[in-house]
Amino acid sequence: METIIANIGTTGYIYPNEFELHWGLLIVIYPYLTGLVAGAFILASLERVFNVKELMPVYRLSLVTALAFLIVAPLPLLAHLGHPERSYEMFLTPHTASAMAMFGFVYAWYLMAVLLLELWLDYRRDIVRWSHEKTGLTRYFYRFATLGAADVSPQALAFDEKASRFITIIGVPSAFLLHGYVGFIFGSVKANPWWSSVLMPIVFLFSAIVSGIALMVLVYMITTMFRWKKIDMACLNKLASYLLYAMIVDFSLELLDFIQRLYESEESILILRDMIHNRLFISLIVSQIILGSVAPMVAIILGKLGRVPDEMKRMLFFIAAILVQVGIFSTRWNVVIGGQLFSKSLRGLTVYKLDLFGLEGLFMAVTLLLAPIVILYVLAKIFPPWMDRPEAEVAAMETK
């Protein structure tokens, strides 16, 4: 009887131990979240390193968003472990040959040395000001947050500026490392022909940039709307442009990977083709490629090149950004789940059975996806990231 149950949903032959899929929805969420972090940070650094002035309104917002998502990013990994209480062993006795063991260090480096430091330097002047202005307990909170550095003389601020720029310059390769490394975790598994690709870290990186920029389009538009402010069209246009460029690179790379696989036509090609036809058609062809890549690119191009009113542009960019999120989530799904739907015997396909409850269930996944938004809300209350340009300057930029 159990043999019959074991075979439900599978086609062809799978190794008996492959009946259970080992990396589920939580491991889909993990690269999705880290991608958003890396993308949002890279966007912020564009303003800082390359002086893209139009992006000023989203600079701090991007950093705070990156932090909110970075806090949640390791949680799906932790929840998925068989023994979360032993996870500290990865720090105490890491196995240096393991790509996964390095995650803790890359993460800690990125959180401590890059993101928190840059945010602190950027906010320091305001924190000092709030520590004087506010009353009661909040005053003590901000005073603590100054970490004793209450000097806001021009020299001190100039140093902040310089240090912050330096950290951003370190931060860009760090963000590349953070997400390129996540790609490497999958790309280096030679046992799995769907994952094993030298392009994997690069594709992960560009899809991270795409998802991060699209996330900032959404966060910026929604927060501005709730603050009853006018959307800075110069900023939004710039965001849309960068989103389009990143998407073109990302899409080309993925297409290259696809063509290369088809052309090389290795031993695994038959089962992978079978998998795309019978298991991943909706999530790969429909959701990732058509809805998540082609449609938003068309929407942005329409918004940029078509002579459409700002209202329409905002609508197009907003829809494009949502579709991109759907697309990138599908990308993560197709990599993580897709890589386990076919047997390593290359003779059969299996199915993924999603639980609703439990540590690795759907509700846990939804909670983990909503958590960064709650954290972002709280962070934005404590450290307001709003950097609206004066209306006159915005008007001047728009007429340019």
Partner 1 sequence: MKNDKPKIERREFLKNCSSKLPAFVLLASTLGARDLLAAETNGDYDPTRHDYAMGIDIHRCIGCGRCADACKKENKAPPQPHFFRTWVERYVIPVEGEAMVDSPNGGIDGFPKIDDDIDVLRSFFVPKLCNHCANPPCVQVCPVGATYTSRDGVVLVDDSYCVGCRYCIQACPYGARYLLPDTHVADKCTFCYHRITKGHLPACVEVCPTQARIFGEVGQRSSPLRRFVRFNDITVLKPALNTKPKVYYAGADGEVR
* DSSP symbol at 389: P
In the complex, the smallest distance separating the C-beta of residue 253 from partner 1, rounded to whole angstroms, is 23
Tell me which residues in 120-139 interact with partner 1 (CB under 8 A).
none
Give the distance from CA 135 to its chain's centroid: 37
- Exposure letters 301-338 (e unless 16+ CB within 10 A, then b): eebeeeeeeeeebbebbbebbebbbbbbbbbbbbbbbb
Candidates 20-28, 118-126, 301-309, 323-331; binding stretch for partner 1 (CB under 8 A)? 20-28
Which amino acid appears at position 266 of this protein? E
What token pair was written down for 343?
Answer: 């047997």
Q: Which of 9, 50, 53, 87 binds partner 1 (CB under 8 A)?
A: 87
Instruction: With CA atoms as reference, report the closest residue to 287 among 28, 39, 26, 40.
Output: 28
Of 260, 265, 278, 345, the one binding partner 1 (CB under 8 A) is 345
CB 217 within 8 A of CB 39: no
Question: Considering the complex, what minimum distance in angstroms separates the CB of residue 249 from partner 1?
Answer: 28
State which of residues 70, 75, 90, 394 lies at the interface with partner 1 (CB under 8 A): 90
Q: How far is the CB of 269 from partner 1 (least distance, A)?
A: 14
By CB under 8 A, the residues from 102 to 121 that bind partner 1 are 103
H, E, C per residue of 319-348 = HHHHHHHHHHHHHHHHHHCHHHHECCCCEE
Q: Which is nearer to partner 1, 211 or 343 (CB)?
A: 343
Among 125, 139, 165, 347, binds partner 1 (CB under 8 A): 347
93 binds partner 1 (CB under 8 A): yes
Phi and psi, residue 91, nearest 5°: -85, -40
Q: Does 79 help bind partner 1 (rule: CB under 8 A)?
A: no
Q: Cβ(189)–Cβ(196) under 8 Å?
A: yes
Tell the smallest beta-carbon distance from residue 347 to partner 1 (Å): 6
- Report, in this order, helix, strand and coil percent for the chain, each rounded to 5: 75, 0, 25
Q: Which is nearer to partner 1, 57 or 76 (CB)?
A: 76
Q: According to CB under 8 A, which one of 9, 50, 53, 98 is a site residue for partner 1?
A: 98
- Site residues, partner 1 (CB under 8 A): 2-3, 6, 13-20, 22-23, 77, 80-84, 86-87, 89-90, 93-95, 97-101, 103, 185, 189-192, 339-340, 343-347
